[in-house]
Every structure is written in structure tokens, then in C-alpha cells.
């Protein structure tokens, strides 16, 4: 999307082709600026506002030929002051200061602009500039620089562009300057650059850029971020973002989804929360069509499968605006939660986020008398709508809920009609809109008894077989022969899918099955990050395996008949994958799904495709669908929507749109008001899609199976004029129903960024209203608004039937659909025993959960590692001292030097060249009864003696002696009563300070007093103290029953502490050996006693 930048940034990006400049705003320390820009003190200066404001000179806002002090005084006077100009009021928040260049404004001011077009970059030049430039569009000389598909910047053929320049020196210097300027334009991914005026400095033989305005293609940021540096994309003058709007902008930048919010009238009654870029414009149009433009409070949209949390944040922000102090309306407010039929976004998941926000704001919404109307369709829409109904019941909020059986914008007149009075009577007719039943509700007998359907061949509308009515005549019944159609998809079309998109592939295979295809449409998946293998999918009820390959060459070698590529590569690599695809002659159609592909790269792909005869659909598209034949990826949505819209068999209406969401909606509308979709393509919302609307419309014109064409255009661009002219010139003879959305745009007092990159009007002719009027004048069937789109399509469809140009065919039997287990489970139709059970953590939601605690809550408390152990091992929080105790034990047991067997094994394995995991396991395998396991056994021995046998320490020692058993946790090779182990002293001190009861520690001390009488090294060692103290913690911290404590001990939790702690040391030894680059270990033979049998003697 092209976004405006400040003049200071534009000049900085132009580098040597512009003069230096500095920016001043509220945070600028003007006294320090000269140290980095010494020319401020040595040059005469120009200072002017840098707030995307035109005609600054005429408004007295430019200070010329001034000193640095005068410039500072000028800025100080005007900085952060409000200015009203041409009806817009804005704040002068930024100023630009640059060197002043004295010149003759009548003879030495020129104009130049460079802008991106579909076919190339257009350069406009005028030998007069500044205030004398006039209507530059009418008199400027133009050169279009064609796109080089390799990305090289071509030399410009200027022709006679500079012939009116009078000065010979200037004329001679212009080609080099403009070529350099154009190179910067390309390298920096400008979308628009206007310099008015620029002048020639004869003394220094260079050009001076005086005033400039520019837009950058912000999708190219990942390519040139280092060249751009920090770029500010300010709002238009007079349009200051509220904190809520800025929050949504920031949220949009942090998520892969698309989020938009523009507040139009903070006190307005009608608020919208619409899913989908195209649908959001349609809702705004419809509200304005009903005369409520002055009450429309906002424009906004959310799309691209936002998460539940993201949707919650978006909804919460919008609700805070609806319920903002000072905006109360006695007659109440309306909130329209609308959208088309989603292709892949889970309606239930996004609604859960909205519902969280509705519950949070329920009281305020009731106070503000807000009525809520919901209309949505798509994956899991039934669950989502049910949740919406329930939240209305639970909170008392007035919520009306509608599904895809209701026309997309019907909730607008329904909501307005609920206001009552004269308005209600006027809007009653709009509530009676076409509605349909889901395929579950339709019986075959009803279809067969419908007199509108004739008993014809079920396959009469398949490719190459015109219906009986269409075989004898042209599409309009006039006998005109149709040109041969370029067919993109047939029931035999097979494709490659670039990217491991398992869900999309499965949905394509499900579509294949219900269409009766004998062979899956997906031949192979290209995934560069995996070795070639087979991956299982379902084709109907059968499990099949689809090859996953690393290279497209491997796929083409295996499947030479495949001619279509569905490219799911990301915006960063989509162009590379597309270019690779075009290197193979068999690939003739490519769908690019990714949004955010830089415009220059897209145009290079388009040029390459044109030369190679490849059809590109996209970028920024969901794709397209040919009923009964082939679908691209997720187009058409879930299988239920495929069935509801009857996409399993072809109809007679073909359509083209920009919006992916509206493609699904059009499928739904066509199934209600005609015999359904024959083919539908979403060309994508970017400014320069691979194929434009005309290319697809002319395909439909040439296809004998298409009886009528539907076009859904939008504000911005001029392609709809080409459609109108083609109708007028009879190049399009089939009836065309057309509508351009975005008629609301001129009614807004501020510039609105609609959902699609190409949805903005650069001139009056690009406004939707102008295009609709032209299409109607040329003979297209144009409704009065999108609200009447379905009615208009139905009228034309009935006209075709009445004239005999179209004869409906018998509906085929509704295919039997195998239900996915996950979907059936969601609907409560099946149950299945679980493979295993987990009660300690859950990663299914938006946030990881430990034993019921969201990870955010865990991190916000002072639980530390000890707290995480408590949640994951014991499934409950413990007292704070218990967390510190657990961490204390981990620190004490982390290591005991390299000589112990576990560390020794780890070191030997590391020196054998094994990796960290193998080395760690080698050490851990030594832990047992003789090493480390003493913690666990000591705790169990002491617990049994004290609690079960009720023994005194003396009785316990004697019992163990008579039983010939070792007492675990007693004894040390080095330490003694006189040389105590510091680890034992530290742990014992901690326990005595923090434990409320410590009977087993005291018991262990009693055992020590008995054993040390025999030998002073038979002390309580760290293993024994850990075992005893851990039993005391579990028995007496107040969080466990005695049985729970015994179970945890029996299951080895004490030993677990030693394993966890000692792993830290083992990893340390591994890293130490690798850091020292120690070689293979071989034990010294002098340290080995070789004792072998004497075979000679024997």
C-alpha cells in the first residue's frame, strides 16, 4: 500500500539528488542541531511546515532567505499551533529546514513527477513549475518506462520530453538528473514522487529540489529497511489519530491479520465491526445509501484470521469509543457486527474475542442503549452465532443474530427499521430479502418437483458442452458465434501447492470429492524445508498419500500434466516461488495468495507472465473457484458453504471481484437468486494484480457455458471504464451486472484507508459513483446500491429465462459428504476415548497454561522456577518459602565436581564427540541407588521409621543393623562432625527458619547423633537432609493431604529434584569440555589392573 511520507524523509531518501534538510518537532533540541548540520549556521535557510500540506506558500507558511535564529523564531511561533485551510483543521507538528536557493521563479522552476502504473512507471515533466505550473496533467510531457522483469533499472528514452526547456545548459543536464532520480525512485520503492518546483544551479552544475511530496510502498520495508532508516508515515493533514485509532494501528503492525479503524463521527449512532476488507466497504456504502452517512461513526475492518486475543483487543477498543463519556444519545446507538462468508477464518474463535469484550462492557452498553445486530457466515459460524445469542441472554443486551441465509447487508435496514416510526415503514420492503435454506434442510424431491427445472442432462453445463438452449444461439440468443475461450480450470485440472498448507490441501480434496472428480486436484506439495516424503490426506473416505517434494523440478518430472500452481509462499518469498514456477513451461496458471508483496516485484512478475503467456491470479487473493471442477486453496470456505452455495455443480453466472471475502458472498447470493456460480475469481486487492478484471470478463464472454457476467469493482483505478467501453463497443455481448463499492468515500470528511491497497481514488473519475454511472450509461445492469445487487442479478437471470437464452437444468443428486472427525466432534455427533490424559498444562488456547495458571500470570508473580515446579509437579501453588526451598535444593545439587560418576560419564561422552543430549543422558543414567538415589531412599526410610513403625532414632539404627541394610543419607568420605558439609549447614539453617514443622529433619539429626558415636564421618549428608526436608515440606506445608504427600514421594519426586539439579552441572561439564576442545578420552593403563587367566600354564 502506498503511504505518504514527510518531505524531509523524501529528500533524505533521494540522497545526492536533493539538498540536505533537518526536521524540527516538539522533541527537537534546536541548540544541538547545528553540531550535526553545520550548514544551518553558514547558509541562508528556508523553513516550512512538513505536515502533508499543499500550497504552503500561498498560506504564508514559508519563511525564505532567513538565518538560523530567524528560522527558530518562526518555528517557535507556529509549532503545535492549529491551522484551518480549505476546511481542514490540523496541527503544525513538524517543520523542515533546508538551504535557501535564490532563483528566478519565472524562468528557473520546473516540475517533475513519477508514479507507478500497471504497465510501467510514468514520468511527467513540465518546463514550468511552482505556482505557474497550472493544470500539469493537461500540458506535461510524459514518458512511460516499461517494467524490466529482471529487476534492472532501464535507461530512459526521453524523446522530446525536454524540448521546451529554454536554457541549453539546463536541457543538457536534465537527462542525467532525471535518470538518477528515477533510479532512486526504483531502489527506494517509491510509489509516487512529485517535485514542484526544482531549479538548476548553474554555478555548481546541479539541480536543487525545492518542494517535494512522496509516497512509499510500505510493503517493501523488509527489502529496504536499512536504506530507509526510520520512516514516519503521518496521517493526512487535518486527520489526527485518536489514541484508540493509534492503538489499532500499532496492533495491526504486530499481527499477521489486518485491522483498520477510522473514527468518522465520535457522537454518531451507527457503529460497525465488520470482518473483511470488501465487506467493510459494502456495509459503509449501505449505511450511507439509507441516508445515515451523518450518523456513521466509524469505518473499520478485521480480517486475515485474527486470533481471539487480537479480536478481543479490537472489539474492546471499539466498545470503549461507543460508550465514551459525552457521546450518549437518547435514541440509543446501533452496533453492526457484520461480514461476508469467511473462507478460512473461524467465526467462533473471532466471536469469542468479541464476546469477551461485550461481557466486559455489558453494563455500559445497556446504559448507552446500544442495540446489536450480527450477521456472519463461514467456518464454525453456527457455534459463533449460538455464542452470540447466549451472550445476549446472559447479559440482557439486545442482540439479533443472522447467518448466511440472510443477505449480507440486511441487518442495516433491519436495525434502522427497529427505530420505529416513519423510518420503519419506509424500510419494511428491505427486510424482505432473498433467503435460502442450508443444504441440510433441502430435500431432493422438492428440487425435482420445481417446475423451473427441466429434465436435461446433468452434465450439460460441463466444459465444452453448452446447454440445449445455448448450443443453437449465442449467449444473448442472437446467433453470434463466440470466440474460443481461454479455459483456466476444468474437472481434470491438477495443481502443485507451494508450501505445506495441509488444511487448504484437504479442503481442495474435499471439494474434488463432492464434485465427483476421479482424481485429486493436488498432485504434489512443494516444501523446501523438508526431505521428500509422502503425506496422508483423505479423498472422500479413502486415505491417500500426496508427495511432498523439495523442488519444483522434482514435482514437474513426476507430474508433467500439471499446469497450475497455488503459491502459498510468504510475502518475502512469493515472487521467488512464482519466478521459479514460470521457469517451467508446463505451468500456465499461478495463484499468489500472499498479501504484502512489494508492488515493484509484483509488476516484474506480471511482465514476466505476460511474455511467457502465464495467467497470474493475485497477489493478496484467496484465489478462485470453478463450480464442479476446481478450487484454489481455501476459496469457497468450508465444505458446508460449498454445499449451501451449490458449488459442487456449475451454474451459468460467472463473476469477478477484488475481494476474497466478497467472492464467497457472491457465491452465496448467486445460489439464492440464480442457478449459481459457473466460475468466480478474486483478482486480489493490491493495486497491480496479475490479471485485471477485463482479462477474466473476456474469458467469460468467450465461454459458451457462461450466460451472464457479474462484476464487483471498487473505488480506485480505472479498469471499470474499460469494461464499460467493451460493453458499448459490443465486444462484450453477454449481460453484465456491475457495481463498484466505495460510494461512501466522498461523503467522509476525512481520508479513509479502506481494506484493499488499491481502494483509493486518485481523481474524481476513480470514485465508485462515477464508475457506476459510466457502466450504466454503457449498458451494464447497475443496481441502486449493493443492497439491491441480488435483486438486479435475479431480474437479469429471469430475463434470460424468459427470452430462452438460458434454460435451467435439473439439479444433480446432492452428494454424500464424509464428515471430518474433528468437525463431527465439534457438533457433538461422536465421542472417542482419549489416547492419554494431561492435567498439568494446556497449549490449545491463546496462552500456555500451567495447572490452570496462564503463563502471563506465572511470569507476573514472584513464583520463579520453584513455582513452576510446584505447578507442573504438584498441580498447585505452594507457599513462597516452598518455592525458595525447591530452588535452594536445585542450587545445592547442581554439581559436585568432575570426579563423581555422573559428571565423569558426561565428560567422557562429550570428549567422544557426542552431542549435548547424548552426553547428558550418559550422566543421568548413572543416577540410582548408589549415586543420587540416596535422596529418595533416605526420605522413604526415615518416613517409614518415624511415621509407620514409630521408631526412635536408636531403634531405627539398630533395626537397620539387624536387617543388614545400609542407612541412606548417612556418611561422607571426607566430611565429618568436626568438618561439616557446608551444603548441609546451609540447607538445615533455611529449613529451621522457614518450615513450620520439621519432625523428619529432627529424626534424621537423631539418627546422626547415634551413627557418629561409632565414627565421626557417619554424618547426615546432603542426600539425607534433602530426603528428610522434602518429606517435611510435603507433609506440613498445608497444601497436601498425607496420602497425597505419600503418593508424590512414592512416585519419585524427591529423586526428581536431584535429577533436575544435577542436569545443570552435567550440561556445564559438557560445555566446558567443548569450550576446551578436549580430545577423545582414554583411561591411563597404569590405573587399570589387568588380571587375565594364564592360558599357557593351564
Instruction: Determine contact, residues 655/338, Cβ cutoff 8 Å.
Output: no
> What phi and psi, each to the nearest 5 degrees, are found at residue 1034?
-70, -35
| Burial bucket for residue 999 (CB in 10 Å: 0-12, 13-18, 19+) | middle
Contact present, 687 and 595 (Cβ < 8 Å) = no
> In this structure, what C-alpha cell is assigned to residue 793?
442479478
Residues 738 and 684 sit within 8 Å (Cβ to Cβ): no
Does residue 495 contact residue 523 with C-beta atoms inside 8 Å? Answer: yes
Beta carbons within 8 Å of 617's beta carbon, 6+ residues apart: 589, 590, 591, 592, 623, 624, 632, 681, 682, 683, 684, 689, 690, 691
Q: Which residues pair with 200 in a beta bridge?
A: 207
Instruction: Look up cell 499461478; give the residue.
Output: 590
> How many beta carbons lie within 10 A of that of residue 170, not counting itself?
19
**DSSP code per residue over 222-261:** HHHHHHH-S---PPPTT-PPPHHHHHHHHHHHHSSSEEEE
Residues in the chain: 1098
Per the CB < 8 A criterion, the answer to whether 772 and 740 are in contact is yes
Closest C-alpha to 633, from 730, 495, 739: 495
Residue 178 CA to residue 199 CA, distance in Å, equals 13
- DSSP letters for 469-523: HHHHS-TTSS-PPPPPP-----TT--EEEES--HHHHHHHHHHHHHTT-SS-SEE
Residue 619: cis peptide before it, omega within 30 degrees of 0: yes
* Mode of pairing for the β-strands spanning 2-5 and 212-217: antiparallel
Cα distances from 484 to residues 476, 481, 729, 1049, in angstroms, run: 17, 9, 19, 81
Residue reference for cell 554424618: 1019
User: Distance between CA atoms of 183 and 199, rounded to whole angstroms?
Assistant: 19
Task: Please check whether residue 225 is in contact with residue 268, taking contact to mean a CB–CB distance below 8 angstroms.
Answer: no
**Which of 626, 754, 655 is closest to 713 using CA atoms?**
655
| Listed residue (737, 90, 110, 786) closest to 413, CA to CA | 786
CA distances, 302 to each of 92, 312, 1023, 1075 (Å): 32, 11, 59, 51
For residue 208, what are the β-bridge partners? 199
Q: What is the largest CA-CA distance in the chain?
A: 124
Shortest CA distance to 527 belongs to which of 507, 501, 557?
501
Task: From residue 554, give the alpha-carbon distance in Å to each of 545, 557, 558, 580, 796.
Answer: 17, 5, 6, 13, 49
Q: Three-state DSSP class for 922? A: helix
The rounded radius of gyration (Å) of the Cα atoms in the chain is 38
Residues carrying an active site annotation: 756
Separation CA 524–CA 505 (nearest Å): 10
Is the C-alpha dihedral spanning 490, 493, 499, 503 positive or negative?
positive
Amino acid at each position: 500500500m502506498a503511504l505518504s511520507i514527510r518531505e524531509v524523509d523524501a529528500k533524505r531518501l533521494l540522497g545526492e539528488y536533493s539538498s540536505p534538510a533537518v526536521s524540527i518537532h516538539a522533541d527537537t533540541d534546536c541548540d544541538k542541531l547545528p553540531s550535526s548540520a553545520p550548514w544551518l549556521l553558514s547558509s541562508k535557510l528556508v523553513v516550512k511546515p512538513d505536515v502533508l500540506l499543499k500550497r504552503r506558500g500561498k498560506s504564508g507558511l514559508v519563511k525564505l532567505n532567513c538565518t538560523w535564529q530567524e528560522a527558530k523564531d518562526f518555528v517557535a511561533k507556529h509549532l503545535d499551533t492549529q491551522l484551518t485551510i480549505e476546511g481542514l483543521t490540523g496541527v503544525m507538528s513538524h517543520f523542515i529546514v533546508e538551504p535557501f536557493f535564490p532563483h528566478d521563479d519565472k524562468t528557473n522552476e520546473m516540475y517533475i513527477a513519477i508514479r507507478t502504473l500497471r504497465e510501467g512507471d510514468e514520468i511527467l515533466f513540465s518546463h514550468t513549475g511552482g505556482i505557474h505550473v497550472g493544470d500539469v496533467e493537461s500540458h506535461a510531457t510524459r514518458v512511460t518506462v516499461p517494467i524490466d522483469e529482471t529487476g534492472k533499472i532501464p535507461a530512459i528514452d526521453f524523446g522530446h520530453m525536454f524540448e521546451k526547456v529554454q536554457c541549453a545548459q539546463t536541457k543538457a543536464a536534465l537527462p542525467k538528473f532525471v535518470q538518477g532520480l528515477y533510479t532512486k525512485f526504483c531502489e527506494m520503492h517509491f510509489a509516487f514522487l512529485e517535485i514542484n518546483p526544482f531549479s538548476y544551479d548553474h554555478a555548481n552544475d546541479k539541480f536543487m529540489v525545492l518542494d517535494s511530496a512522496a509516497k512509499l510502498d510500505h510493503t517493501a520495508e523488509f527489502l529496504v529497511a536499512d536504506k530507509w532508516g526510520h520512516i514516519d508515515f503521518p496521517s493526512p493533514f487535518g486527520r489526527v489519530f485518536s489514541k484508540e485509532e493509534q492503538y489499532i494501528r500499532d496492533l495491526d503492525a504486530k499481527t499477521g491479520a489486518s485491522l483498520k479503524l477510522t473514527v468518522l463521527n465520535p457522537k454518531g449512532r451507527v457503529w460497525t465491526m465488520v470482518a473483511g476488507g470488501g465487506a467493510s466497504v459494502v456495509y459503509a456504502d449501505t449505511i450511507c445509501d439509507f441516508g445515515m452517512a451523518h450518523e456513521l461513526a466509524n469505518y473499520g475492518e478485521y480480517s486475515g484470521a485474527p486470533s481471539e486475543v487480537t479480536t478481543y483487543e479490537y472489539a474492546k477498543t471499539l466498545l470503549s469509543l461507543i460508550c465514551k463519556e459525552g457521546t450518549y444519545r437518547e435514541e440509543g446507538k446501533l452496533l453492526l457486527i457484520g461480514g461476508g462468508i469467511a473462507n478460512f477464518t473461524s467465526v467462533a474463535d473471532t466471536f469469542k474475542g468479541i464476546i469477551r469484550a461485550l461481557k466486559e462492557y455489558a453494563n455500559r452498553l445497556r446504559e448507552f442503549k446500544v442495540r446489536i445486530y450480527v450477521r456472519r457466515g463461514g467456518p464454525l459460524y453456527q457455534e459463533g452465532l449460538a455464542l452470540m445469542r447466549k451472550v445476549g441472554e446472559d447479559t440482557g443486551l439486545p442482540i439479533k443474530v443472522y447467518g448466511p441465509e440472510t443477505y449480507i447487508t440486511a441487518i442495516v435496514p433491519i436495525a434502522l427499521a427497529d427505530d420505529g416510526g416513519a423510518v420503519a415503514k419506509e424500510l419494511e420492503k428491505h427486510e424482505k430479502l432473498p433467503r435460502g435454506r442450508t443444504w441440510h434442510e433441502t430435500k431432493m424431491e422438492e428440487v425435482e418437483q420445481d417446475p423451473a427445472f427441466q429434465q436435461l442432462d446433468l452434465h450439460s453445463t460441463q466444459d465444452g458442452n453448452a446447454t440445449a438452449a445455448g448450443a443453437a444461439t449465442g449467449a444473448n440468443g442472437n446467433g453470434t458465434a463466440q470466440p474460443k475461450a481461454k479455459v483456466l480450470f476444468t474437472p481434470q485440472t491438477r495443481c502443485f501447492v507451494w508450501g505445506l498448507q495441509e488444511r487448504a490441501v484437504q479442503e481442495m480434496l474435499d471439494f474434488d470429492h463432492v464434485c465427483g472428480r476421479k482424481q485429486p486436484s493436488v498432485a504434489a506439495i512443494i516444501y523446501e524445508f523438508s526431505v521428500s516424503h509422502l503425506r496422508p490426506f483423505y479423498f472422500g473416505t479413502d486415505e491417500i498419500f500426496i508427495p511432498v517434494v523439495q523442488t519444483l523440478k522434482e514435482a514437474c518430472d513426476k507430474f508433467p500434466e500439471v499446469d497450475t500452481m497455488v503459491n502459498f509462499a510468504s510475502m518475502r518469498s512469493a515472487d521467488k516461488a512464482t519466478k521459479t514456477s514460470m521457469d517451467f513451461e508446463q505451468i500456465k496458471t499461478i495463484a499468489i495468495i500472499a498479501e504484502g508483496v512489494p508492488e515493484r516485484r509484483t509488476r516484474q512478475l506480471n511482465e514476466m507472465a505476460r511474455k511467457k503467456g502465464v495467467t497470474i491470479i493475485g497477489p493478496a487473493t484467496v484465489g478462485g473457484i470453478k463450480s464442479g471442477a476446481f478450487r484454489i486453496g481455501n476459496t469457497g470456505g468450508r465444505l458446508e458453504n460449498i454445499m449451501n452455495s451449490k458449488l459442487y455443480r456449475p451454474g451459468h453466472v460467472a463473476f469477478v471481484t477484488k475481494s476474497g471475502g466478497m467472492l464467497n458472498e457472491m457465491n452465496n447470493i448467486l445460489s439464492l437468486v440464480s442457478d449459481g456460480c459457473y466460475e468466480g475469481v478474486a483478482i486480489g486487492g493490491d493495486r497491480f494484480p496479475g490479471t485485471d478484471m477485463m482479462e477474466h470478463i473476456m474469458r467469460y464472454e468467450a465461454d459458451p457455458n457462461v450466460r451472464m457476467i457479474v462484476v464487483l469493482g471498487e473505488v480506485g483505478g480505472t479498469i471499470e471504464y474499460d469494461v464499460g467501453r467493451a460493453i458499448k463497443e459490443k465486444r462484450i455481448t453477454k449481460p453484465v451486472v456491475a457495481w463498484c463499492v466505495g460510494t461512501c468515500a466522498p461523503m467522509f470528511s476525512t481520508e479513509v484507508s479502506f481494506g484493499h491497497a488499491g481502494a483509493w481514488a486518485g481523481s474524481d473519475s476513480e470514485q465508485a459513483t462515477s464508475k457506476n454511472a459510466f457502466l450504466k450509461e454503457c449498458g451494464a445492469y447497475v443496481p441502486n446500491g449493493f443492497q439491491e445487487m441480488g435483486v438486479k442479478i435475479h431480474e437479469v437471470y429471469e430475463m434470460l429465462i424468459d427470452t430462452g437464452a438460458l434454460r435451467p437444468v435439473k439439479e444433480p443428486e446432492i452428494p454424500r459428504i464424509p464428515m471430518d472427525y474433528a468437525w463431527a466432534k465439534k457438533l457433538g455427533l461422536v465421542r472417542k476415548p482419549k489416547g492419554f490424559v494431561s492435567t498439568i498444562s494446556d497449549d490449545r488456547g491463546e496462552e500456555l497454561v500451567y495447572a490452570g495458571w496462564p503463563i502471563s500470570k506465572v511470569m507476573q508473580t514472584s513464583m520463579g522456577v520453584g513455582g513452576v515446579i510446584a505447578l507442573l509437579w504438584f498441580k498447585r501453588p505452594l507457599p513462597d518459602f516452598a518455592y525458595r526451598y525447591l530452588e535452594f535444593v536445585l542450587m545445592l545439587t547442581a554439581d559436585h565436581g568432575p570426579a563423581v560418576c555422573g559428571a565423569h560419564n558426561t565428560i567422557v561422552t562429550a570428549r567422544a564427540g557426542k552431542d549435548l543430549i547424548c552426553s547428558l543422558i550418559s550422566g543421568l543414567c548413572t543416577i540410582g541407588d548408589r549415586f543420587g538415589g540416596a535422596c529418595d531412599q533416605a526420605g522413604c526410610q526415615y518416613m517409614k521409621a518415624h511415621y509407620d513403625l514409630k521408631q526412635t532414632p536408636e531403634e531405627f539404627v539398630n533395626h537397620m543393623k539387624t536387617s543388614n541394610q545400609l542407612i541412606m543419607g548417612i556418611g561422607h568420605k571426607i566430611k565429618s562432625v568436626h568438618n561439616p558439609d557446608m551444603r548441609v549447614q546451609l540447607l538445615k539453617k533455611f529449613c529451621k527458619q522457614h518450615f513450620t514443622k520439621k519432625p523428619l529433619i529432627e529424626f534424621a539429626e537423631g539418627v546422626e547423633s547415634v551413627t557418629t558415636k561409632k565414627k565421626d564421618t557417619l554424618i547426615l549428608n546432603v542426600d539425607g537432609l534433602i530426603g528428610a526436608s522434602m518429606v517435611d515440606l510435603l507433609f506440613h506445608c498445608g497444601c497436601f493431604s498425607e496420602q497425597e504427600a505419600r503418593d508424590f514421594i512414592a512416585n519419585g519426586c524427591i529423586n526428581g529434584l536431584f535429577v533436575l539439579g544435577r542436569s545443570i552441572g552435567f550440561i556445564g561439564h559438557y560445555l566446558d569440555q567443548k569450550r576446551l576442545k578436549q580430545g577423545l578420552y582414554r583411561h591411563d593403563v597404569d590405573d587399570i589392573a589387568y588380571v587375565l587367566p594364564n592360558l599357557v600354564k593351564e
